[in-house]
Amino acid sequence: MIDLHSHTIFSDGVLIPAELARRAEHRGLTAIAMTDHGDFSNMDFIIPRIRALALKLNSVIQITIIPGIEITHVPPKLIADAVARARELGAKIVVVHGETIVELVASGTNRAAIDAGADILAHPGLITEADVRAAKENNVLLEITARKGHSLTNGHVARLAEHIGAKMVIDTDSHGPGDLIDAAMAKQVVRGAGLSEEFFERMQENARVLISKNK
């Protein structure tokens, strides 16, 4: 399984990156993106450190570490600049923290992330049909999440994405050891969102294509 959304002690996770990688490897994951919460104040601290770790460990462990960032609570008008800055710093996966219903995310964040060409719009909440169409056009992946709270709108996201043909990805948004899941559980999350199990394989292929594109 590939998981493109996780957190370490560099934001609000509880594990150092090497331990997160080991625990994910033990769960049977083949790749994990480390995407700590970031804005203009800390991206230059986080991204180079995850990049350095990935360069050191990827040749000696079975799982692939992918350096990334989750742009979080950045005002919509600044999201495009934040996405560009993250890529300049070497982020291979740029996630934007979407308009989940369990946090006070600024209205317009979903569309700003899509227009900026983020790789993944995380837990996009009650995303509009217009924004899902824009995500399809811009090839932005919409996240189906295993994260409690954020997962409350998985069914809404899945229904619109399936109807419109927007691409999706399944992620954990892990913050601690107990958040990591294996492929069997991920398939259940996908089914719980109202999708057939075959969508899990499609989501994993979407993740593989994204990793290959951003190497």
Residuewise pLDDT in 10s, the chain (215 residues): 999 999 999 999 999 999 999 999 999 999 999 999 999 999 999 999 999 999 999 999 999 999 999 999 999 999 999 999 999 999 999 999 999 999 999 999 999 999 999 999 999 999 999 999 999 999 999 999 999 999 999 999 999 999 999 999 999 999 999 999 999 999 999 999 999 999 999 999 999 999 999 87
Which residue segment(s) compose the domain that 81 sits in?
2-213
198: CATH: 3.20.20.140
Domain count, the chain: 1
Distances (CA, A) of 208 to 1, 12, 14, 33, 159: 10, 26, 27, 12, 23
Query: What are the tokens at 11?
Result: 């934001």
Find where tokens 């804005």 sit: 39
pTM confidence score: 0.97
